[in-house]
Amino acid sequence: MVNPSKWQRATGAEVRQACRRGELSGPTSGLALGYVQANLVILPRDWAFDFLLFCQRNPQACPILEVTDPGDPEARLVAPGSDLRTDLPAYRIWERGECVAEVSEIARWWREDSVAFLLGCSFTFEAALLQAGLRVRHIELGRNVPMFRTNIPCQAAGRFHGPLVVSMRPFPPQHVIRAIQITRRYPRAHGAPVHLGQPAAIGISDLLRPDYGDPVPVEADEIPLFWACGVTPQAALLHARPPLAITHKPGHMFVTDLLDSQLDEAI
Amino acid sequence: MVNPSKWQRATGAEVRQACRRGELSGPTSGLALGYVQANLVILPRDWAFDFLLFCQRNPQACPILEVTDPGDPEARLVAPGSDLRTDLPAYRIWERGECVAEVSEIARWWREDSVAFLLGCSFTFEAALLQAGLRVRHIELGRNVPMFRTNIPCQAAGRFHGPLVVSMRPFPPQHVIRAIQITRRYPRAHGAPVHLGQPAAIGISDLLRPDYGDPVPVEADEIPLFWACGVTPQAALLHARPPLAITHKPGHMFVTDLLDSQLDEAI
């Protein structure tokens, strides 16, 4: 049986090896504390230029940590020795924009021309918020963060386009200001919020009905803050409908060797 | 005859239109003050993924301001209404890594699959250094900045690889510290220096014999600071030898509508 506190204090490499051995198959929130976790998108080479351009044009939603060479399953920069085909707890297989399977390894779907994109993740700035003494509601409630499709269009790139997806975290006013100051230091983990206070202005009609994740209440003395979200590329995949795409299962991230502090641009 | 002070106070769009009409063919240093200028690299679509990846992996040398869609000669994000085929004062045409022509417009070389890369340029942080009261030697001397090939390899990407090229600016110790603090605010204009004080440690044997640009003396009480340089991709082109590439002529940049202050990440 998995001992969660053991994996809390593990390194990124230890978590990846446990995934590879099949010992870890659940969400990675709270594991290998201090190590940067990443969203994963894998596409065939002939779709990779459009998607790399999509990331470059929408850096708050899609902050690139690494892009692998075609056919190379190792994240040589952020996780030397890793194997992206086995080192995540769970994957999703997408065909023509539809999720057709959830699997624990992807050897069968990996191709000679597969290109893997690792994108920064909000776990990094949430760790910084917690360290600064801010309370992060969905973590306290043990829920997934609520995420919403907005009416803000992403900058299109070739076949990729779609709405910006945002995650929402409520704070009292003094902590709103502090949260903006803290998260702006992490542009490779979505950076500062993109909106606050007026959900309707960005096309969100009901904060209690997120499009992804779990609902989280906003108290009367709180203001909702909205960050660009790593689910945005999955929304763009729905539109682009590539023949094959592979992503992480939401919440089941790739754990790198990078330290959260290495993404802190204020250091 | 060109009146330089007129173009100093011009907008980016006015400088581009003057280039288009053939009225401006010289270096753009000091023109349209306050507007961001950019390095240009144009490649065929099937070389663009490798080069985009090269830029992504070497962001200090190749900070991306915009990448155009294949075949689209307009920089829609940073200079709406522009035409990259005519709006620079001078271009260089490269065949298999060799510069074969310098021209004032590139209509004949533009292809249906041409992709243009606009990369940030040190003019942006030099303006910030001058505004902070620092003296920038090569500007005072009316010379081009000295640039050196180092022994620091860039992260390769597909067919693109090569040494990091750096530019050198000398400062007295107090201004070294200030210059680091100021330039770190502009990651999309090369950001903080990559080295200081020990040229031999990065493979530079003689500061008075730069590989590109003009020599600039370092006084006894000064320390040389080295920044990643936008000439780095031209060094990588030499190695990759694509059938066709088009760049700006050094010093003859593309002037955007962006303001220098928009690249200041501290704002």
Q: Is B234 helix (H, G, I), strand (E, B) or coil?
A: helix
Mean predicted lDDT score pLDDT of chain A: 94
Question: Would you state the pLDDT for residue B4?
Answer: 59
Q: Which residues of B are less than 8 Å from A64 in CB distance?
A: 56
Interface residue A157 vs chain B (CB under 8 A): yes
Mean predicted confidence (pLDDT) in A29-41: 93
Question: Would you state the pLDDT for residue B3?
Answer: 56
Mean predicted confidence (pLDDT) in B26-47: 94
Cβ of B157 and A45 within 8 Å?
A: no
Reported as a single tens digit per residue, the pLDDT across B245-261 is 999 998 899 999 999 99
Interface residue B265 vs chain A (CB under 8 A): yes
N- to C-terminal Cα separation, chain A: 39
Distance of alpha carbon A184 from alpha carbon A125, whole angstroms = 9
Reported as a single tens digit per residue, the pLDDT across B95-118 is 999 999 999 999 999 999 999 999
Percent of chain B past pLDDT 70, that is, above it, reads: 99
Question: Would you state the pLDDT for residue B144?
Answer: 87
In chain A, DSSP assigns E strands to 35-44, 64-67, 91-95, 98-103, 114-120, 147-153, 163-171, 195-196, 223-228, 245-248, 254-259
B49 to chain A, minimum CA–CA distance in Å? 5
Distance of alpha carbon B120 from alpha carbon A67, whole angstroms = 21
Supply the Cα-derived Rg of chain A in whole angstroms: 18
Q: Where do the domains of chain B lie, and which CATH numbers do they carry?
A: 7-21+35-120+241-262 (3.40.1640.10), 123-232 (3.30.2040.10)
Distance of alpha carbon B224 from alpha carbon B170, whole angstroms = 4
pLDDT of A167 strictly over 50: yes
Interface residue A116 vs chain B (CB under 8 A): no
Range scoring the smallest mean pLDDT among A220-224, B14-18, B140-144, B215-219 = B140-144
Distance of alpha carbon A23 from alpha carbon A89, whole angstroms = 9
Helix H or strand E encompassing A177: helix A173-183
Beta strand pairing call for B114-120 and B147-153: unpaired
Interface residue B153 vs chain A (CB under 8 A): no
Mean predicted lDDT score pLDDT of chain B: 94
Find residues 74-93 of chain A whose CB sits inside 8 Å of chain B: 77
Reported as a single tens digit per residue, the pLDDT across B122-144 is 999 999 999 999 999 998 998 88
Interface residue A46 vs chain B (CB under 8 A): no
B33 to chain A, minimum CA–CA distance in Å? 26
Mean predicted confidence (pLDDT) in A166-176: 94
Chains A–B, number of C-beta pairs less than 8 Å apart: 32
Task: Give me the helices (H) in B93-242, please.
Answer: 123-131, 137-140, 173-183, 232-240
pLDDT of B2 strictly over 60: no
Most confident of A16-20, B176-180, B230-234: A16-20
In the block, residue with structure tokens 């992480």: A248
Cβ of A77 and B155 within 8 Å?
A: yes
Q: At B217, list the tokens.
A: 């003396």
Residues B13/B35, Cβ–Cβ less than 8 Å? no
Question: Would you state the pLDDT for residue B36?
Answer: 96
Range scoring the smallest mean pLDDT among A8-12, A84-88, B2-6, B152-156 = B2-6
Mean predicted confidence (pLDDT) in A43-49: 96
Between the CA of residue B100 and those of A175, B91, B93, B94, B159, what are the distances in Å? Answer: 59, 11, 6, 6, 21
B86 to chain A, minimum CA–CA distance in Å? 24
Question: Would you state the pLDDT for residue A3?
Answer: 56
Mean predicted confidence (pLDDT) in B52-68: 96
pLDDT of A1 strictly over 90: no
Interface residue A53 vs chain B (CB under 8 A): yes
A49 to chain B, minimum CA–CA distance in Å? 5
pLDDT of A267 strictly over 80: no
Task: Find the closest chain B residue to A64 by CA distance.
Answer: B56
pLDDT of A5 strictly over 80: no
Residues B169/B225, Cβ–Cβ less than 8 Å? yes
Q: Is A92 helix (H, G, I), strand (E, B) or coil?
A: strand
Supply the Cα-derived Rg of chain B in whole angstroms: 18
Question: Would you state the pLDDT for residue A30?
Answer: 85
pLDDT band at A29 (very low <50, low <70, confident <90, very high): confident
pLDDT of A210 strictly over 80: yes
Interface residue B57 vs chain A (CB under 8 A): yes
Q: At A36, list the tokens.
A: 């940067």
Distance of alpha carbon B42 from alpha carbon B244, whole angstroms = 9
Reported as a single tens digit per residue, the pLDDT across B208-241 is 999 998 999 999 999 999 999 999 998 999 899 9
ipTM summary value: 0.74
Question: Would you state the pLDDT for residue B1?
Answer: 41
pLDDT of A70 strictly over 90: yes
Q: Nearest Cα to A116, choosing from A161, A92, A85? A: A85
pLDDT of B5 strictly over 90: no
Reported as a single tens digit per residue, the pLDDT across A132-155 is 999 999 999 988 899 999 999 999
Interface residue A56 vs chain B (CB under 8 A): yes
B158 to chain A, minimum CA–CA distance in Å? 7
Q: Is B196 helix (H, G, I), strand (E, B) or coil?
A: strand
Mean predicted confidence (pLDDT) in A242-249: 96
Q: At B56, list the tokens.
A: 């992504």
Nearest residue, CB atoms, A49 vs list B49, B157, B187: B49
Distance of alpha carbon B63 from alpha carbon B66, whole angstroms = 9
Reported as a single tens digit per residue, the pLDDT across A80-94 is 999 999 999 999 999
pLDDT band at B267 (very low <50, low <70, confident <90, very high): confident
Interface residue A218 vs chain B (CB under 8 A): no
A78 to chain B, minimum CA–CA distance in Å? 12
Mean predicted confidence (pLDDT) in A10-25: 96
Q: Nearest Cα to B41, choosing from B173, B203, B234, B179? A: B234
Q: Which residues make Cβ contacts (< 8 Å) with residue A165, sequence separation at least 6? A: A61, A147, A148, A149, A150, A211, A212, A228, A229, A231, A232, A234, A235
